[in-house]
Amino acid sequence: MKAILIMMDTCNRHMLQVYNSGAKARTPNIDRLAERSLIFDSHFIASAPCMPARRDILTGRVNFLERGWGPIEPYDVTLPRILRKHGIFTHIVTDHSHYMEIGGEGYLQQYNTWDFQRGQETDVWVSSIKDPEEPEPHLGTVFRQYQCNRTRFTDDADRPTPRTFAAAAEWLRQNEGEDNFFLTVEAFDPHEPFDASEEFRAMYPDDFPCFYEWPRYSALNSEETP
C-alpha cells in the first residue's frame, strides 16, 4: 500500500476549475493532479470547521452528531491507528496549528511520526514581548501573534504551506522505494489569513482601500466585501 492524503483547509470547490470552468483561481498543480485522478462530484462534507472535519475524516464518524469542536476521543478508532496495527507506516506533515492547542490534541499522535511546520495563523511560534508593527489603517481583524510570525517570512519558501509541501516531498525522497505507507499532507491555506506575496496578490487585484487579510467572523459591511 502506498497512499497519500492531501488536505487544504477552506478550499471551496467553486473556486477550482476542476469543478467550475469559470473559476478565476489559477491552480495548475491541482489541475494536473485532476487529469490523472478520479474526481468525485457528489461528495459533501459533514462537519465543516477545522477539528470537527478532521475527526470526520480520521474516524468516519459525523462529529457534529455527537459534539462540537474538540480533540480525538479516547474511544475513537482512527484510520492511521488501524493502519499501524496492520504494519502500515503512517506520517503526517502539516502546518495546522490547531493540532497544538488545548481542545485540538490527539490527532497527530495517531500517526507513527509527525512533522509540524511552524508559523501558520495564530501558532504561538515567534515570541516577542514588544508589540509587532501592525498595518494601519486596516479592514477586518489583525492578530498580534501572526504579525509576530510573519517577521520570519522573507520569501514564499519561508511560508508555512510551501514548507509543508516541501517537507512532504523530502519525506518521499528519503523513503523512495519503500512500500506500505500512508502519508498525510495537510496545508492550512487557503484559510485566513489571506497573506501572500506581491507576486500572487497581483494575479487577483481588488479595490479594498487598505490592508485587509482577515475578515471578521460576523456580518461584513459594504467596504469589507469584494
SS3 label, residue 38: coil
Residue 74: per-residue pLDDT: 93
Q: Tell me whether residue 226 is in a domain.
A: no
Q: Tell me whether residue 225 is in a domain.
A: no
Q: How is the chain split among helix, strand and coil, in percent rounded to 5?
A: 30, 10, 55
Query: What mean pLDDT do residues 176-193 have?
Result: 97
pLDDT at 45 over 90: no
Structural domain count of the chain: 1
| Distance (Å, whole) CA 199 – CA 136 | 22
Q: Tell me whether residue 114 is in a domain.
A: yes
Residue 221: per-residue pLDDT: 84
DSSP per position, 146-196? HHHHGGG-SSGGGSHHHHHHHHHHHHHHHTTT--SEEEEEEE-TTSSP---
Q: Tell me whether residue 28 is in a domain.
A: yes
Render pLDDT for 95-112 as a digit per residue (tens, 0 to 9): 999 999 999 999 999 999
Which letter does DSSP use for residue 133 in this model?
P
Render pLDDT for 130-142 as a digit per residue (tens, 0 to 9): 999 989 899 999 9
Q: Tell me whether residue 58 is in a domain.
A: yes
- The torsion angles phi and psi of 97, rounded to 5 degrees, stand at -75, -15
Q: Tell me whether residue 122 is in a domain.
A: yes
Residue 121: per-residue pLDDT: 96
Cα 101 to Cα 71, 91, 98, 119, 163: the distances in Å are: 9, 20, 5, 14, 21
Q: Tell me whether residue 223 is in a domain.
A: no
Render pLDDT for 126-171 as a digit per residue (tens, 0 to 9): 999 999 998 989 999 999 999 999 999 999 999 999 999 999 999 9
| Distance (Å, whole) CA 59 – CA 77 | 6
| Distance (Å, whole) CA 43 – CA 57 | 13
**Residue with more model confidence, 218 or 115:** 115
Q: What range defines the domain where residue 50 resides?
A: 2-216
pTM, two decimals, is 0.94
**Contact between residue 25 and residue 16 where contact means Cβ atoms under 8 Å apart:** yes
Query: What mean pLDDT do residues 63-84 have?
Result: 96
pLDDT at 26 over 90: yes
Q: Which CATH number characterizes residue 90's domain?
A: 3.40.720.10
Residue 78: per-residue pLDDT: 98
